[in-house]
Amino acid sequence: MSLKVGVARFLGTNCDDDVRKWVTAKSHTAEYLWFENQFNTNEYDMVIIPGGFSHGDYLRCGALAAQTPVMKSIREFAAKGKPILGICNGFQILCETGLLPGALLRNQGLKFKDEWATLKVNQSKNAFSSKMEKNQLLKLPIAHGDGNYYAEADTLKKLQDKEQIWLTYEGKNPNGSLMNIAGITNEQKNICALMPHPERALYEWMGSQDGMYLL
């Protein structure tokens, strides 16, 4: 089934076109959602918040983007239980809006990191895992300076209890995230977010095709 996918675009978003190419390659339709505008939530089947440096990452990563009109509609979209995927900066934005719990701190070692990561699928009952199996390993690239997932102990416990921990780094943890977390979902499992970039791992020539499992 071909879906109509809204791709959020803030000032400084830089993976918007990459996500558009991915969505189109899957025979879906991609449409940009400009940060200054609200949108009709009935018109879209899915929303993706791509990576980048929204609003220059000023203040805190994702903090300014979280306050924009487009996010108001995305909250509405979320409340309807429709699927939302946040990638990298998109993950940070979703945490800043409170749609996902926790926060992404500066990487351990304080440096930006670009490398391939091995991820383990901890649960596959969510909006972006229908093609995956539990315990499957994925090879995806990371590229971030603030991917160190942090949450209070009781939040972490809740994440575990409600099976909200989606992806974890296997082997090497590149950023110091708690419990090796690389991706989480909300309790209802319609909102998913991850630090790695699936849109950069779609074909053999990219180094991995595992990103295709998400859409």
172 binding other proteins? (CB under 8 A) = no
Single residue of 43, 133, 154, 204 touching other proteins by CB under 8 A: 204
> Which segment (45-53, 121-129, 131-139, 177-185) binds other proteins by CB under 8 A?
45-53
Q: Is 197 in the active site? A: yes
* Single-letter amino acid, residue 195: M
Sign of CA dihedral 137, 150, 18, 77: positive
Site residues (CB under 8 A) for other proteins, limited to 176-195: none
Q: With respect to other proteins, which residue has the nearer C-beta, 9 or 189?
A: 9
Sign of CA dihedral 61, 63, 69, 74: positive
83 binding other proteins? (CB under 8 A) = no
Single residue of 40, 152, 206, 209 touching other proteins by CB under 8 A: 206
CB 6 within 8 A of CB 46: yes
> Which segment (39-47, 105-113, 156-164, 177-185) binds other proteins by CB under 8 A?
105-113
Single residue of 112, 160, 188, 209 touching other proteins by CB under 8 A: 112
Q: Which of 15, 55, 61, 88 is catalytic?
A: 88
Q: Is 192 in the active site? A: no
User: Which among 145, 141, 128, 104 has a CA at the least distance from the CA of 186?
Assistant: 128
CB 141 within 8 A of CB 117: yes
Q: With respect to other proteins, which residue has the nearer C-beta, 115 or 133?
A: 115
All residues at 6 or more sequence positions from 182 whose CB lies less than 8 Å from its CB, including other chains: 117, 119, 142, 147, 149, 167, 168, 169, 194, 195, 196
CA 82/CA 46 separation, integer angstroms:
6
Single residue of 5, 6, 30, 52 touching other proteins by CB under 8 A: 52
38 binding other proteins? (CB under 8 A) = no
Q: Is 199 in the active site? A: yes
All residues at 6 or more sequence positions from 88 whose CB lies less than 8 Å from its CB, including other chains: 15, 50, 51, 52, 143, 144, 147, 194, 195, 196, 197
Sign of CA dihedral 200, 156, 149, 187: positive
3 binding other proteins? (CB under 8 A) = no
- H helix or E strand, kind and range, residue 103: strand 103-105
Single residue of 197, 210, 213, 214 touching other proteins by CB under 8 A: 197
> Rule CB under 8 A: which residues touch other proteins?
11-12, 14-15, 17-18, 21-22, 51-53, 55-58, 111-115, 141, 143, 145, 197, 199-200, 202, 204-206
Known catalytic residues are 88, 197, 199
